A and B are shown apart, each in its own frame.
Chain A
Amino acid sequence: MSNPENLGYTAEHEWVDTADLTAATVGVTKYAADSLGDVVYVQLPEVGAQVTAGESCGEIESTKSVSDLFAPADGVVVEINEAVVDTPELVNTDPFGDGWLFRLRVESEPELLDAAAYAEHTKEG
């Protein structure tokens, strides 16, 4: 599985598209989606919510388990993906595309891994 080069990654398996830091798109990686199994429920932060880097801001529930969704950076949620709330399996079928979770107005420089460093991280994991 390849992690897109243009994205930044967290050790908690989120990806962030940093091209526009006023509305940075956040999702979970294919590695995370594969580890979770079939995602059946996604709880996202509300639009306008203030989130803190490294802290839980939602949940992803698969048939077998519940995982926290961690904010990849400090910021304010500006948009959430309603489609993924209605159709949680998008996280499995298209984690880097239609399975995106929310968009964040980033308020502090996020500390992210590049694709190569993230690939190394999942190899160790």
Chain B
Amino acid sequence: MSTPSPLHAVHEALGAAFTDFAGWSMPLRYGSELAEHKAVRTASGLFDLSHMGEIELTGPEAARALDYALVGKLSAVKPGKARYTMICDAAGGVLDDLVVYRLADDKFMVVANASNAPAVAAALRERAEKFDVEVTDRSADLALIAVQGPTSTAIIGSVTGADLDALKYYASVPAAIAGIDILLARTGYTGEDGFEVYVDGDRAAEVWRVLTEAGKDHGLLPAGLACRDTLRLEAGMPLYGNELTADFTPFDAGLGRVVKFDKPDGFVGEAALRRRRDADVETKVLVGLVGQGRRAPRHGYAVLASDGTEVGTVTSGALSPTLGHPIAMAYVPVAVSEPGTALTVDIRGTGTPVEVVKLPFYQRPA
């Protein structure tokens, strides 16, 4: 049996189609996922992301513990700010990509992907053992609701007293919606401006209702995980299990910038990641591919060079709802990774021409 979200009854009443995702039963779509995708690009979408894992670290050495446990330098993050980072194994393989919020000098919240949350919690506990810090997995009792899209500022502004001009991207602030305490964060996974609301699961339905009401005049649509995937793909954002796995280091995914070596106490995976950084071996890199027509390269399809030899693998792909043509991400050798390079994807037996492009595929209008 998969775990229902605290908002399950709300989704049922909205007629959602559900999907099993990492042991959770979550809304896949409410109506048309293309309409939901478009709503996020042009108005706003309301997402239930309660399947995400939240792990709190509290104590005087919380920052030191995270500096050791993760590849980022979390001690450099100021209270109220957040950082995109990763947790790696000793070989430098990515165990998960994370957003870490610093809530106070001695308190952090680590947000992990649902599929990895138990492993991340276990790794954090083990790695934090030698530090004065308490690790608490709050995944089961915290709900996460996201409002994403160009009208999200108006919606969130109307229901919270928070000063949204002061709340920059990758920042968070304690706030309230209808008298319910929340953590309000300006983060997301759609390529749009947006907010994420962390709230106790037993108050989540009230917050959802208030946001729905506030969104009525702002084109807000409930939006499922189907459109979340096409939105993040257009924005060139990696998905764990597709672009990121334990077989690859952050450098392989083109995200070596998240690895910080200037940490006095070292960190798990440091030696392996130093070797990878300094290696002159040509490994594969993550690139964007665009095609023509309507048939999209999909996860696992082979990428071929002009002479027909297999050079890489598609990690994610779809017909882009916003752009109208197929887009995909793939790992290919550096030699064929320059934008403009012509490659071929084997789409179920048919060689289909694609061109390498710079990521992201879509950037919101400034």
Contact = CB atoms under 8 A, between A and B. Distances in A.
A61 B294 contact: yes
Contacts, number: 41
A95 B29 CA distance: 19
Given A34-B17, A41-B294, A64 B226 contact: yes
B295 A41 contact: yes
A37 interface: yes
Interface in B219-274: 226-227, 229-230
Interface residues of B, number: 19
B216 interface: no
A40 B28 CA distance: 17
B319 A64 contact: no
Given A64-B33, A64-B229, A41 B348 contact: no
Given A37-B33, A38-B33, A63 B319 contact: yes
Chain A interface SS verdict (over half): mixed
Contacts of A63: 33-34, 37, 226-227, 230, 318-319, 321
A88 B293 CA distance: 13
Contacts of A43: 295
A38 B318 contact: no
Contacts of A34: 17
B296 interface: yes
A66 interface: yes
B34 A64 contact: no
B298 interface: yes
A25 interface: no
A29 interface: no
A38 B34 contact: yes
Nearest to B36: A38
Interface in B1-48: 17, 28-29, 32-34, 37
Interface in B311-350: 318-319, 321, 348
Interface string A24-53: 000000000011011011010000000000
Interface residues of A, number: 14
Contacts of A38: 32-34
Nearest to A37: B33
Contacts of A59: 348
A66 B348 contact: yes
Nearest to B28: A37
Contacts of A40: 34, 294, 319
B293 to A, nearest CB: 8
Nearest to A42: B294
A66 B298 contact: yes
A10 interface: no
Nearest to B37: A63
A35 B29 CA distance: 10
Contacts of B32: 37-38, 92
A64 B318 CA distance: 7
Contacts of B318: 63-64
A41 B17 contact: no
Given A34-B17, A63-B227, A63-B321, 4 more contacts: A35-B17, A61-B295, A64-B226, A88-B294
22 contacts: A35-B17, A37-B17, A37-B28, A37-B29, A37-B33, A38-B32, A38-B33, A38-B34, A40-B34, A40-B319, A41-B319, A61-B296, A61-B319, A63-B33, A63-B227, A63-B318, A63-B319, A63-B321, A64-B318, A66-B298, A88-B294, A92-B32
Interface of A: 34-35, 37-38, 40-41, 43, 59, 61, 63-64, 66, 88, 92
The 4 A-B pairs of least Cβ separation, nearest first, read: A41-B294, A38-B34, A40-B319, A37-B33
